[in-house]
Structure 1
Amino acid sequence: MSKSGESVTVMDNLCVAANGSSYTLRQPLSCGWTFGQSGALRMPAVADCVKKEDDSFRYMKLPPPVVVSRLDEAVASALLHRVNLGGETLFLTLAQAATNLAHYTGSMAHMYHVLRNAGHYGLTSTPTRIVIAVEGITSPSFKDPHGFHSILLRAAAGGGPIHHVNVGPAFPLREEPPAGDPALGGVPGGGPVVTVVLNNAVVSALVRPVDSALCMRRVVIPNFPRGRWFIPASDLPVPSGLLPPHGAPPEVVQQAVADAALWRRQQMEAEGDAPADATPWRAAVFAALVPPLTGGRPVMARRLTYLVRARRRAFDEPSEARVQELFRRVATRHRLVLDVVNFGNVSFSEQLRSVVHSAVLVGIHGANLVNTLYAPRGAHLIEIFPRKFSHNMYVRGGDAGLGYTAMALEEPGQTDYKGLSALEAFQRA
């Protein structure tokens, strides 16, 4: 668990039945140490760990598993005919919210983080398989090699083969490991084997009608990042290898605390002005574009990019005209090229190509700002907020290492942003 609450649940012997119930054997609850707001090392309360584990299953649209003494006796009927996956499997479900670019980017960036830092979470190696159950998202979204679902999945998974299952069962697969869809990239040995189960009610399409459950020897369940795309070194959980064994004497615990504090300082010094995942994530996404973005790291140009909103939370026409005229004057004064971009009219690849050379980006708060995280390091984001509303989602470019300024629209007689009360309640929660 990170300082801000991102979490990863790792379990042995998890079985998911076709009816949606799940089962596991009793296993010790090991809750990783993290650093508190003051910077001191702390062990989260057991109750917090249990809640995070429950949250992981709720995020997957599954009830928390029933703990049984034997998987082949107490729940024999549910697990009578099961498919077993060996090794370590990253298991993720995506519901309707993942049609939103911001939500989906969060899921993929966090999965990327877990795969890159597997050892931090007690894994012996990078998981060899990723299983993604997709509910409520149309198949073409994942089958379009130019769409953001395919591009970000390729970037997060690390280049391994991607296998689609339109109608169950997903397991057993026709071939092990699957060759994947050549149109979507990926090669055997390039990364974990990815199985995307489309049009799925979470688990009903994972196994054949004659099978009753899918059992995973070891499963990794990433939760969702909290208001950012990357976890800075100051917030990372302590790697499992640095944790003292349960019941260790005080002097061993004291040494572990000193070792963890040293590790944290080293990570923060090496990180620089952006979280360690930010730069390689950008490179992975650029390489996953069709065609790939070539030329290495994007070079910042004297470019001011204004991201227009055309529907919700947009300026009215007279105000929009005044805003664009203001930006034209600013660009002329500072010898900048002005780009006015409406992401709703261009493909995901074109969206990224419109920001990779920007020095300054300006836009109204919302999902249209997600792609600013692909701007060059050192670029500056100016976020415009409706009256009486603010949010920390895009501070530092979503913790991607950008400069950042927030501007609130406050004019006499202006009405509050529609839906303000609901958003305030969400932020308090």
Structure 2
Amino acid sequence: MFAPLARECTSSIEAWWAREAELPEPEQKPASWLSALSDGDKVAWWEGDTVFLRLGAASRSVAHYATRIFFLHQVLSNPTAYGAPAGGFSNVVVVALPELAKKLRYRRSWHHGLLAAVVHPAVPQFRLRDVADAVGAPAADRASMRVYVSAGVENLARGRRVPCFRRAVLPGQLDARFFVPDGDGPGAASAAAYAEPTFDTAVGATPWADVARFRLQLAGSVGAAAPPPLRRTLLYVTRAGQPRSFDAASEAAFGDALAAAAAAAGFAYTRVAMAAASFREQVDVASAAGVMVGVHGAQLAASIFLPPGAVLVEVFPYRFAHRLYRGGCGAGLKYLSLALEAGTEWPALAAHGGDAAACVATDAACRDHYRSDDRPLGWGGGDAAVLRERLAMAFGHVVARTGTA
């Protein structure tokens, strides 16, 4: 009777290892297998409590990488919820594909900067010698958590010994969000814990303590004394020249509309192509903004650097929507969106009864079509009217929080 259930559970667990933990071809071994290795002195132990994070191909994307690295942040910020002592974890071990390991080592990159912020004040170590020496070192000999980055598990062992963890947490990736509210974690049963933040949630108070901690860590990792205050600046993060961007005429019209609205409201206006900016440049420009505007895409991941109480205005292609940034990433931001009024219909829309929402929900090719990755976006008069309305709300929100001066 229980055999089918046992087989199904085993299959589900293996699927989780492969999908969430990004462990290829996982195997389940009996305890006797490990005992035999240990008795033969063929195990190199990582002592203490370890967070083991593997970064696969999906983490090449800035946004997908962020959903994984912020799960690491969630674990490190709440150690007792994940079985570690109140003092925190002994080790963080990050194993990445070779190309990702290079990005993690490159100090100007988004990948390096975000990891450095999440583990601050610990400093990631990349030399293979440091990683190898850490295996077997007593956790009690360490004054603080250590962070190691490797291009492969095979590099973690000494010689032919198998690296094993005394106790380890393997975080997966957060589901279409970057931050987790207090109470939303292992064992959470309250539906309220999963609710999206309200626009007026104070980031320094429950339930968003993890966000406040990240902002402090981010400031420390880039050498700032404290997170910056909210300012009256409108930032346009453009995708010009990249997939899912406006055509040349529409890009100019959209930029002009933003600049004019900012001037009328007494806001400074800045336009930045995030794809060409270093991590530190992205932090500096976003943390100085009160309002960020951009078309849906990875460049909006920089909204996590906005000050608490800032506003994110997300522009969606015709008939497309996505929930990654909805609610302001759970980062205490006010969130507004704008859906472009014109675009090209999916050729097979009639097969779905002309219902674009149903088409997008059930047909991957339809969803990719409306995502507009390969077609330039247009900007119309109706869009401009909605933008003015959204910006008025955004400016009012920032002004109310920065005083009348």
Question: Is the 1:307–1:341 contact (alpha carbons within 8 Å) kept by the matching residues of 2?
Answer: yes
1:232 aligns with 2:181: yes
1:309 aligns with 2:239: yes
Q: 1:283 aligns with which of 176, 194, 216?
A: 216
Q: CA deviation at 1:96?
A: 2.8
Question: Is the 1:305–1:340 contact (alpha carbons within 8 Å) kept by the matching residues of 2?
Answer: yes
Question: Is the 1:386–1:417 contact (alpha carbons within 8 Å) kept by the matching residues of 2?
Answer: no
Q: 2:269 aligns with which of 329, 332, 338?
A: 338
Separation in 1, partners of 2:40, 2:282: 47
Q: Quote the residue 2:338 is aligned against.
A: 407
SS at 1:226 equivalent: coil
Q: CA deviation at 1:274?
A: 6.2
Q: CA deviation at 1:234?
A: 5.7
Separation in 1, partners of 2:65, 2:79: 21
Residues 269 and 374 (structure 1 numbering): CA distance in 2 closer, same or farther, change over 3 Å? closer
Q: Percent identity?
A: 26
Q: Quote the residue 1:18 is aligned against.
A: none
Q: 2:94 aligns with which of 132, 136, 143?
A: 132
Q: Which amino acid aligns with 1:193?
A: R
TM-score where L is the length of structure 1: 0.69
Q: Quote the residue 2:326 is aligned against.
A: 395
Q: How does 1:250-269 map to 2 (within 5 A)?
A: none
Separation in 1, partners of 2:316, 2:73: 30
Q: How does 1:70-85 map to 2 (within 5 A)?
A: 70-72=32-34, 76=37, 81-85=42-46
Partner deviation per Cα, 1:41-98 (whole Å, 9 max, x = no partner): xxxxxx889846741454332444424142356x659976221222111111112332
Q: Which amino acid aligns with 2:315?
A: I
Residues 231 and 362 (structure 1 numbering): CA distance in 2 closer, same or farther, change over 3 Å? same
Question: Is the 1:101–1:367 contact (alpha carbons within 8 Å) kept by the matching residues of 2?
Answer: yes
Q: Which moved more, 1:97-106 or 1:297-306?
A: 97-106
SS at 1:137 equivalent: helix
Question: Is the 2:184–2:193 contact (alpha carbons within 8 Å) kept by the matching residues of 1?
Answer: no
Separation in 2, partners of 1:79, 1:423: 54
Question: Is the 2:46–2:135 contact (alpha carbons within 8 Å) kept by the matching residues of 1?
Answer: no
Separation in 2, partners of 1:285, 1:90: 20
Q: 1:101 aligns with which of 56, 59, 62?
A: 62
Residues 61 and 146 (structure 1 numbering): CA distance in 2 closer, same or farther, change over 3 Å? same
SS at 2:270 equivalent: strand
Q: How does 1:187-202 map to 2 (within 5 A)?
A: 189=143, 191-198=144-151, 200=152
Structure 1 gap ranges (5+): 1-46, 179-187, 240-256
SS at 1:305 equivalent: strand
SS at 1:406 equivalent: strand
Question: Is the 2:120–2:220 contact (alpha carbons within 8 Å) kept by the matching residues of 1?
Answer: no
1:91 aligns with 2:52: yes
SS at 1:217 equivalent: strand
Residues 407 and 105 (structure 1 numbering): CA distance in 2 closer, same or farther, change over 3 Å? same
SS at 2:154 equivalent: coil
Q: Which amino acid aligns with 1:207?
A: A
Question: Is the 1:163–1:196 contact (alpha carbons within 8 Å) kept by the matching residues of 2?
Answer: yes
Separation in 2, partners of 1:210, 1:397: 48
Q: CA deviation at 1:139?
A: 4.7
Count, aligned residues:
339
TM-score where L is the length of structure 2: 0.73
Partner deviation per Cα, 1:126-151 (whole Å, 9 max, x = no partner): 22011111114255422233332222
1:320 aligns with 2:251: yes
Question: Is the 1:84–1:215 contact (alpha carbons within 8 Å) kept by the matching residues of 2?
Answer: yes
Question: Is the 1:387–1:417 contact (alpha carbons within 8 Å) kept by the matching residues of 2?
Answer: no
Separation in 2, partners of 1:138, 1:82: 27
Partner deviation per Cα, 1:244-277 (whole Å, 9 max, x = no partner): xxxxxxxxxxxxx9xx89999xxx9997486221
SS at 1:383 equivalent: strand
Separation in 1, partners of 2:203, 2:298: 30
Residues 305 and 69 (structure 1 numbering): CA distance in 2 closer, same or farther, change over 3 Å? closer
1:207 aligns with 2:157: yes
Give the structure with the higher percent helix.
Answer: 2
Q: Quote the residue 2:364 is aligned against.
A: 422
SS at 2:220 equivalent: helix
Separation in 1, partners of 2:193, 2:345: 47
Q: CA deviation at 1:238?
A: 3.6
Q: Which amino acid aligns with 1:381?
A: L
Partner deviation per Cα, 1:257-301 (whole Å, 9 max, x = no partner): 9xx89999xxx9997486221121022112112xx234x231122
Residues 69 and 305 (structure 1 numbering): CA distance in 2 closer, same or farther, change over 3 Å? closer
